[in-house]
Amino acid sequence: MTRGLLISVKMDITQRLMEQKYDLQEESIDDYGSSYDSSTSKDGESGNGGERRCFNLTDQHKILFRALTGELVGVCFYVFIGCMATPHSEGVDPGTKLPEVGAIPVALAHGLGLAFLSAALLKISGAHLNPAVTLGVVLCGEIGLGAGLAYVATQTVAGVIGASLCRAILPENVYIGINGGAHVLHVGPGQGVLCETLLTSAVVLTYILAVIDPNTKSDRGPIAIGFSVVVCTLAGVATTGGSMNPARSFGSAVAVSAYNVDIWKFHYIYWAGPVFGAAMAVFLYRFVFASPEKRLVLCGSKGYQFKTTKLSQITSFRQSGQLN
């Protein structure tokens, strides 16, 4: 009888261990999961078969690395396409003498290029592809300040790489003839800043409403963003060249500066205008167009309410695995 009891207890313990092992296997997560299992050992290996477990910090680094790589590749292609699409007409420089020459192909190249790159990279990096857009996203509290700075640095470097590839491919006379695809100011500095501010605000607001806001975002967001760039480029080509993207302007300016040192004279306009434009777009969004849960005032049926963005949302990278 005692022996039978021992056998019964042993079988019960074995069954419980098997159930526990099954539960542990069910709790295993993929490489991009964000949950943490307390049974995971310090070296990231579980004790029941060596299956890899993921830590929050590791997941953050994976997501951020993929996002920055996406921005690097995306901006590099965008700037390269934009510079290569600048027309050259028998020695006539459309960037300084006839800005309206070739405006349509330039606008289409930038807008359609941004559309397909946004569609490809939207779920990897959010497809900002523009420091002004990144600033807007940070001010909306969608990514942290640290991640935002990493985005801007990556986009700036990618702009230089893309413009340098254009310089490496085109013959020297053609490259000089199109001024390296760099933007040139055709109006006064004040007018230039105002133009870039208004055009950039339209592009950034389109991105926020088409990609970020839960009530207005759409799967057709990349198309809307591309169209906004086409239209705004056509509107600004005769004044500032229609940049709306500091990385695009900076990269082409660096590449062509060996042939045109005056390119830096009014370059600040292509940073100041987009920064003001992004701030303007965020103001309109957060105070007027945002969904009730994101709006700072007029929060739906609860009447006039004031809300403040949590400090953690703008000072740390989000851990949910979502950049936008």
pLDDT for position 16: 55
Asked whether the predicted pLDDT for residue 318 surpasses 90, the reply is no
Phi and psi dihedrals of 221, rounded to 5? -55, -45
pLDDT for position 12: 60
Asked whether the predicted pLDDT for residue 14 surpasses 60, the reply is no
Structure tokens at 283: 């103001």
Going by C-alpha positions, the residue among 167, 173, 312 that lies closest to residue 251 is 167
pLDDT for position 202: 96
pLDDT for position 37: 36
Q: Distance from first CA to last CA of the chain, Å, rounded?
A: 66
**Cα–Cα distance, 130 to 99 (Å, whole number):** 23
What confidence category does residue 107 fall into, taking pLDDT thresholds of 50, 70 and 90? very high
More confident residue, 228 or 92: 228
Asked whether the predicted pLDDT for residue 264 surpasses 60, the reply is yes
What confidence category does residue 294 fall into, taking pLDDT thresholds of 50, 70 and 90? confident
pLDDT for position 88: 67
Asked whether the predicted pLDDT for residue 317 surpasses 60, the reply is no
Asked whether the predicted pLDDT for residue 41 surpasses 50, the reply is no
Going by C-alpha positions, the residue among 194, 190, 158 that lies closest to residue 276 is 194
Asked whether the predicted pLDDT for residue 92 surpasses 80, the reply is no
**What's the pLDDT tens digit per position in 195-223?**
999 999 999 999 999 999 988 988 899 99
Helices (H), 131-245: 131-139, 145-169, 172-177, 189-207, 221-236
pLDDT for position 146: 92
pLDDT for position 47: 45
Non-local CB neighbours of 140 within 8 Å, separated by 6+ positions = 208, 212, 282, 285, 286, 294
Asked whether the predicted pLDDT for residue 46 surpasses 50, the reply is no
Asked whether the predicted pLDDT for residue 51 surpasses 80, the reply is no
Whether the Cβ atoms of residue 215 and residue 226 lie closer than 8 Å to each other? no
**Cα–Cα distance, 227 to 256 (Å, whole number):** 28
Non-local CB neighbours of 77 within 8 Å, separated by 6+ positions = 113, 117, 162
Going by C-alpha positions, the residue among 153, 93, 122 that lies closest to residue 219 is 122
Please report, rounded to a whole number, the percentage of residues in the chain having pLDDT higher than 90.
Answer: 54
Asked whether the predicted pLDDT for residue 234 surpasses 80, the reply is yes
pLDDT for position 298: 56
The most confident of 139-143, 153-157, 313-317, by mean pLDDT? 153-157
Please name each of the domains of the chain with its CATH number.
Answer: 18-54 (no CATH), 59-315 (1.20.1080.10)
* Mean pLDDT (the chain, rounded): 78
Asked whether the predicted pLDDT for residue 267 surpasses 90, the reply is yes
